[in-house]
Amino acid sequence: MRQKMGVGHWIGFVVILVWCLLPVAWIVSLSFKSLDETTVGSPQFLPKDPTWDNYQVLLNWNDPAGHDFMRALINSFGIALIATFLSVVFATLAAYAIARLEFRGKRLVLSMALAIAMFPVVSLVGPLFDMWRTFHLFNTWPGLIIPYMTFTLPLAIWTLSAFFREIPWEMEQAAQVDGATSWQAFRKVIVPLAAPGVFTAAILTFFFAWNEFVLAISLTSTTGSRTVPAQMSFFVGPDPFNPPYAQLATASVIVTIPVIIIVLLFQRRIVAGLTSGAVKG
Amino acid sequence: MTTTVATPQTRATRRAPASDRSTAENRLGQRLVAPAVLLMLLVTAWPMIQALYLSLFRYRLTTPDDREFIGLGNYLTVLGDGLFWKVTLNTVIIMVVTVAVELVIGFAFAMVMHRIVFARGVMRTSILIPYGIITVVSAFAWQFTFSINNGWVNSWFAWLPWIGTDTNWYGGHWSAMFAIMVSEIWKTTPFMSLLLLAGLSQVSEDMLEAAQVDGATWWQRLWKVILPNMRAAIMVAVLFRALDAFRIFDNIYIMTKGAQNTQSSSFLTYRQVIEQFQLGMGSALSVLLFLTVLLLAFLIVRLFRVDLAQARGEG
Amino acid sequence: MASITMKNIVKQYGDGFPAVNDVSIDIADGEFMILVGPSGCGKSTLLRMIVGLEDISSGDMLIGDQRVNDLAPRDRNLAMVFQNYALYPHLTVYENIAFPLRLAGAPDSEIDQKVRAASATLELDEHLDRKPGNLSGGQRQRVAMGRAIVRDADAFLFDEPLSNLDAKLRGQMRTEISRLQKRLGITTVYVTHDQTEAMTLGDRVAVLKRGLLQQLATPRELYENPGNLFVAGFIGSPPMNFLPATVEGTTAKLPFGNVELPPDRAERAAGHGLLLAGIRPEYFDDASTREGAGGSTFHATVEVVEWLGHETYAYIPYDAPPEVAEQLRQLERDLDGEAMHTQLVAALSGNSRIKAGDQAEIWVDASKIHLFDPETGRNLTVDAEHAGTIPDLATTA
């Protein structure tokens, strides 16, 4: 690494920060504008008269808008966490097999994962809509959890098998020679070593489930199982030509907070996971 | 001779068909992948077959008894309709423009991040925020940005000749498309730049210094050393992003609801199925969308000779 | 502690290729056995079959009196040091060493006492709380050995344990392993591709080539009585010189001149036509620094001289006839080497004043010349009494 840092890099640094953070700053600023201000029209960046009103409405269980939003928040958390957990468990088993074992059909599994990673989710909306109504999964948590698991499996399997492959094969053999059964070798050696990878896969999976929109609006019909992105899209307010900008911005800020926390805490892991194995060779 | 001997020690061990160890391994492997495979089949393969079947019927959910087998009728209707082609063209335009712009900006970002020696944590955090943010949130943020009453674009950029305080971005096809693409580009450039950064860090400094000693200018080093060595990373990034961009839905749904001819293929399909309950016609669109993505993936892989297995390190 | 017996061990892979072919080796209780050969000779496969990480296609593997072919690694009670040490990165040095004991469910007090004893032996006391990632190569190596010695294993197995260390450390660790093995008196099987390790460490050495056992003997026997061209070329550094030779009566005709052979050697080589004469570099000397000894001398032009202080290497090129040139190239390939142009390496006394380009008079100790059949590679002049076991001879004879 050469230590040369020209003016160009300084400018680049500032440009990247502005690029990434300006829209975030914008919704934060908007969330402090009063409803009256946005109804009249408020094209300036900063609020004229900052107010906490929007937050008070949205985080108030007794307010209808707040009630719906909080329900959606609970749905989002519940569905995303359960889908993440199950997906990572399934993916861990599959990735271990793919990275470590030689078995028939391995190529097939990999190709299938790849195909699903590229799959247009919208193609499935119709048939799933039909099937879910038959199985009484329409507008339920499992109705979203099951497809979310499916669509996050490829990414999780990829990330995890890249991590598993980095663990020296000898490590397990050494444990066996040291007197461990296969299960002990897996429990005491592989699991602790793979934990960071599993965690990374979990973060990426969570992001997907937290972000998902198409299925969320298609397979739900009430606030009983609607997630935040879906709820936000229905949250138009009384006047369809003048949506409640400030409240939508506030909702946006609130759902972005978990993302920012996760990014702040685990940035290294996320980058490693996103690029794992993507550029080898 | 020696080479053929050296590799089997690690590789062929697990290929022997006869030994107990490998049969056991085979069984264990298949058992471990079974749950994931079953789930993927249940949620994708089965509905896809369902869609294929339904696409051969005239079938509206509102009038379920009026279901009638019409063979390829739905496909003929769709393919004969100008709207389908208009929408496909829109989607292709969005895909090509966003991926091209992202590639350039993403590469510039990657170059900066690669060379930067301070505040790497700050940089990484900020680049990950657009990546992690919900697409719907990004769509709202940009919708408001371009809003005529409440957006800052018109007031900040009023000095440009074609922008005034009363410019209605959602009033015209191209300006609405522009707003949609800005949101898409903002949200996904970080992913692109991270993939490119990973590729960039694999280009050895020694090689660059050797090129410098050989008399290559900055521009020549970029085109003759850096880019050829990042080929695999660039291709993987382009493939993933192109397929992703082709499926664009969230931004359009939030920002324009398809107004001003800004519908994408995904959006049209969704509309047919969910809003108009045209399961037969919608299924035909679903199948066509699926086939298009498949074709697109095939073309990109073929055209750029991306070896995904190799790129992903599957060997 | 136990002996290890391998009877006609075969390892065949799915494609039918035998990585280990009919190898029989007896390792006595407490013996230090080396498995050596170039890469791909099957030495690591053999070791992994002993420890149970690799299936045995046919043959019998006995530890003590028990046949272990079908036992899982954990039931064989062997300790192994891996090439990359395979230390558990998430455990401290202490826990790494304690790992096998914990698996066996030993009480904490016993674990502590054994780990402390091992760490004292290996001088790891001050590192017990560190993680392997923070240790130097030599320290990691010692932790791996610590993990092996805390158990009362029946035998130690080493898989190229020093190949990741630099040259100086390798020398030190070599002595360390030797000292440890002598003190514990434990049966040890040690795989290496390095002939120096093989010579210095082993009680006996098994030389393998492409899955076949070439010779099983003490280091001294291997050096003085190699069974064939391959063993002769593999053992010794710099390696033995092979020169085309024809024997008439007791005179061997070499590219540089004639040499008088001892009658018994000449007799065994008679009637074989063109042969390869194997002469170790140290059997040559600068005739001018040598007084009154027997042997023959010849004149040759020295191309390159390397003076090392205690000795001098002189390089003398020669032309090999096509019949033997091909044989020599094949030998180079077998030995993992690059096929270079044919040249003679002579290790002369450090006093020698010969310079590059000189026409020098070189002395050769003819009594130690070996003669090889270029077709079969067999050593015609081998002293079978002092050459250990040469399976090839046994079957052809």
pLDDT (tens digit, 9 = 90+) per residue, C131-147? 988 898 889 999 999 99
**Element of type H or E holding B209:** helix B205-213
Q: What is the ipTM of this complex?
A: 0.88
Chain A nearest C-alpha distance from C131 (Å): 13
> Which chain B residues are closer than 8 Å to C45 by Cβ?
9
B93 touching A (Cβ < 8 Å): no
Chain A touching partners, 3 or more CB pairs below 8 A: B, C
User: How large is the average pLDDT for residues B121-127?
Assistant: 88
Mean pLDDT of chain B: 83
DSSP per-residue codes, A89-125: HHHHHHHHHHHH---TTHHHHHHHHHHHHT--THHHH
C-alpha B98/C-alpha C225 separation (Å) is 75
Strand order in the sheet with C66-67: C18-27, C4-12, C58-63, C66-67
Angle at B53 between CA B51 and CA B56, to 5 degrees: 105
B289 touching A (Cβ < 8 Å): yes
Mean pLDDT of chain C: 88
C209-246 as b/e: b if 16+ CB within 10 A: bbbbbbbbbbbebbbbbbbbbbbbbbbbeebbbbbbbe
Chain B touching partners, 3 or more CB pairs below 8 A: A, C
Mean pLDDT of chain A: 86
| Pick from B144, B233, B283: CB nearest A279 | B233
Band the pLDDT of C393: cuts 50, 70, 90: low
> Which chain A residues are closer than 8 Å to C84 by Cβ?
168, 170
Chain C nearest C-alpha distance from A164 (Å): 14
Domain ranges of chain B: 2-48, 73-311
Query: Which residues on adjacent β-strands are paired with residue C274?
Result: C246
Q: Which of A124-128, B126-130, C31-35 has the highest mean pLDDT?
A: C31-35
- Res. A3: pLDDT tops 70: no
More confident: C333 or A41: C333
More confident: A259 or A280: A259
A252–B141 CB contact, under 8 Å: yes
Topology (CATH level 3) of domain C4-223 = Rossmann fold (3.40.50)
Range with the lowest mean pLDDT among B79-83, B90-94, C388-392?
C388-392
**Strand, helix or coil for residue C74:** helix
More confident: B99 or B210: B99
User: How large is the average pLDDT for residues A63-77?
Assistant: 90
**Strand, helix or coil for residue C242:** strand
Domain ranges of chain A: 63-275
B102 touching A (Cβ < 8 Å): no
- Res. B14: pLDDT tops 60: no
The residue whose two tokens read 């992994």 is C48
Band the pLDDT of A82: cuts 50, 70, 90: very high
Total-model pTM = 0.79
Q: Are C219 and C213 spatial neighbours (Cβ–Cβ below 8 Å)?
A: no
C210–B6 CB contact, under 8 Å: no
pLDDT of residue B17: 41
Q: Which residue of C has its CA nearest to A170?
A: C86
Give the pairing of strands C274-279 and C257-260. unpaired
pLDDT of residue A147: 93
- Res. A162: pLDDT tops 80: yes
Topology (CATH level 3) of domain A63-275 = MetI-like fold (1.10.3720)
| Pick from B154, B186, B194: CB nearest A274 | B194
Domain ranges of chain C: 4-223, 230-381
pLDDT of residue A146: 94
- Res. B269: pLDDT tops 70: yes
User: How large is the average pLDDT for residues C319-342?
Assistant: 80
Chain A nearest C-alpha distance from C6 (Å): 19
Band the pLDDT of B136: cuts 50, 70, 90: very high
pLDDT of residue A244: 84
| Pick from A123, A153, A214: CB nearest B286 | A123
More confident: C315 or C331: C315
> Which chain C residues are closer than 8 Å to B17 by Cβ?
14
DSSP state of C341: P
Task: Please report how many Cα atoms fall inside a 13 Å half-sphere around the Cα of residue A76, on the Cβ side.
Answer: 26
C354-371 as b/e: b if 16+ CB within 10 A: beeeeebebbbbbebbbb
- Res. A277: pLDDT tops 70: no
CATH class of B73-311: mainly alpha
Q: Which of A82-86, A200-204, C346-350 has the highest mean pLDDT?
A: A82-86
C-alpha C198/C-alpha B120 separation (Å) is 50
Q: Are C277 and C365 spatial neighbours (Cβ–Cβ below 8 Å)?
A: no
Task: Please report how many Cα atoms fall inside a 13 Å half-sphere around the Cα of residue C110, on the Cβ side.
Answer: 11
C103–A180 CB contact, under 8 Å: yes
